[in-house]
A and B are shown apart, each in its own frame.
Chain A
Amino acid sequence: MRILSLAGRRLAASIPTLLLILIGIFLLLQFAPGDTVDAMMAQMGGGDAATARELRKFYGLDLSIPLQLGNYLWRLVRFDLGFSSIYGKPVATVILERLPPTLLLMTASLSFAFFAGLVLGVIAARGVNKWPDTLISTLGLIFYATPSFWFGLMAIVVFSVYLQWLPAGGFEDIGAAATGLARTLDIASHLVLPTLTLGLIFLAIYLRIMRASMLEVLNLDFVRTARAKGLDETRIVVRHVLRNALLPMVTLIGLQAGTMLGGSVVVESVFSLPGLGRLAYESVVQRDLNTLLGIVFVSALLVIAVNFLVDLLYARLDPRITAGT
């Protein structure tokens, strides 16, 4: 249980940081031209100043900024993210509706990038400086330099327009209204291209780290011992090297969680997935600042949660971490 308390302490340490983010973003949004009421009035097709004043009073926008900030933080504690005038629903509801596609996309991309990166990294490290290594490393460099939205568009041209293998966008076929397995397959087929698109850059990063980490561990003494014992190469790699080489990879998951969320904004826009990222984009375009603030809060929570899980996983992979402190 030591590990839990260790990870718990790290979790507690992130609370002040979260507070800092919220205050910073709240103050930042005070600079934004126009507030929620302005956006609502525009939606209603204009209105007189008295109505605007009424509305501002109703939403507490006529108070001083420190008071508004206090109100906002107090509402957050109760997980009340405010009301989105654009969607006509509480922000928390809007975000919860949009969360599943994003979580699904992120999990799928992460798994794809992690395992493909692992396998390619191991292959490259096993034949270091031979042609498979050169090929894989070059591909990694090119993937890293590819803008994800562009790769997504080109994938649509090839796989949806010319080959017509996969759908070009959306989360599921509205007409199909299928249930159970059929629906799962339908969603899966919609997620293939977005997963590849989002995962590509991370694949490049993972394979590079895996290759470097494998090369480092392969030179350690215990590997020489294992070889001296007469173990065959596959066994050495799988049982002895891999577990130790995995540590930097796991660290990377935590570091990249935020980048991945940011990337899903673009990817969800390319494939018109109804996810959190697309919601972020829409709320910027529609000046729905309440929703935008809510998304910032939820994505910060997500990143903190991922890092908590990574801490737990890390200690399982390397028992020395819990033994040390």
Chain B
Amino acid sequence: MDAVKRYFRSPAAVVGLLLLLAVIAMAISAGWLYPRDPLSLAGRPLIWPFSNPRFLLGTDNSGRDIAAQIFHGARIALLIGGAATVIAVVIGVLIGAFAGYFGGWVDTVLMRITEAFQILPNFVLLLVLVAVFGSTLTTVTIAVGIVSWPAPARLTRAEFLSLRNREFVQAGRTLGMKDLQLILGEILPNALPPVIVYASVVMAVAILLESALAFLRLSDPNVASWGNLIGLGRDVLRVQWYVAAIPGIAILLTVLAVSLVGQGLNDALNPRLKGR
């Protein structure tokens, strides 16, 4: 409970939480407020924002409601960001846990693989994955997850290295517990908190990666993604710049919210490291 109190004492963390709740509310309410397909034609193309009460944020080049795309885009951003983060953290934790617990050649092999992923620019690898497996919502999400796991893996490995010879682990070993029991039941719960906090960074980067991919028109074109809309708005950038501007602000605020919440959690859970 101390941590909760500490969390709410930081104004930045509270702002982040409010922003994140707003984005989640948008994602939930999208179905009620804009029941129609956000990618269907709604009116005249290129209506400026606030000029027509029916389209609060205006319409894009092909006459689709921008507000509807923003609300439905919140779903896609949270879905892709969340799912990709889960994938990255699960892979990262497994690899980091095995490398840190067993050490020796297991560690060497697993860390070589991690290094290989870190040497490759993650966006270039993402391009290769999309080129090979195509760009549906599922493949893009998995691909973003696959390029994001090395950092959580390194973090987990470091935690395991410092925990694996502690007394509670030795006690477990003396009791005859199996390796897998020790890893999952004893060490992992203690190693997890910093990894969970770091997941916010992974999620922020995942949302940015997907939007960049969508902007290049290499993500799923059949979903209302904010990046897709920016890519579309680029064609009319010189005069109707609002088409690209509005979804960009949505991405900015969402990523900001996720990182603020992450930082707030970090400061609340590790009060001694505050301000780092």
A contact set with B: CB distance below 8 Å: 14, 16-18, 20-21, 24-25, 28-29, 31-33, 128, 141-142, 144-151, 153-154, 156-157, 161, 212, 215, 258-263, 265-266, 269, 280-281, 284-285, 287, 289, 292, 295-296, 299-300, 303-304
Contact = CB atoms under 8 A, between A and B. Distances in A.
B116 A258 contact: no
B275 interface: yes
A303 B121 contact: yes
B116 A24 contact: yes
B259 A141 contact: yes
A25 B120 CA distance: 10
A153 B124 contact: no
B61 interface: no
B128 A21 contact: no
22 contacts: A17-B116, A17-B119, A29-B128, A33-B134, A128-B275, A142-B252, A144-B255, A144-B259, A147-B212, A147-B227, A147-B248, A147-B255, A150-B252, A153-B244, A259-B122, A262-B122, A263-B123, A265-B216, A299-B120, A303-B119, A303-B120, A303-B121
How many B residues are at the interface, by size bracket?
A: 35 or more
A212 B116 CA distance: 29
A29 B241 CA distance: 38
Contacts of B227: 147
Nearest to A300: B119
Interface string B109-143: 00011011011111111111111111000000000
A32 B238 CA distance: 37
B208 interface: yes
Contacts of B116: 17, 20-21, 24
B252 A145 contact: yes
A17 B12 CA distance: 41
B229 to A, nearest CB: 11
A153 B248 contact: yes
B209 to A, nearest CB: 9
Nearest to B201: A144
A266 B122 contact: no
A226 to B, nearest CB: 23
B216 A281 contact: yes
B98 interface: no
A261 B125 CA distance: 11
Contacts of B153: none
B59 to A, nearest CB: 19
Contacts of A146: 248, 252
Of A18, A151, A265, most buried by chain B (CB within 10 Å of CB) is A265
Of B252, B256, B259, most buried by chain A (CB within 10 Å of CB) is B252
A21 B216 contact: no
B211 interface: yes
Interface string B197-231: 00000001000100110011010000000010010
Of A14, A17, A31, A150, most buried by chain B (CB within 10 Å of CB) is A150
B121 A145 contact: no
B9 to A, nearest CB: 14
B154 to A, nearest CB: 11
B276 interface: yes
Contact of B230 (A153, A212, A280, A285): A153
A243 to B, nearest CB: 21
A157 B112 contact: no
Nearest to B135: A284
A148 B230 CA distance: 12
Nearest to A289: B131
A284 B130 contact: yes
A275 to B, nearest CB: 13
Nearest to A153: B244
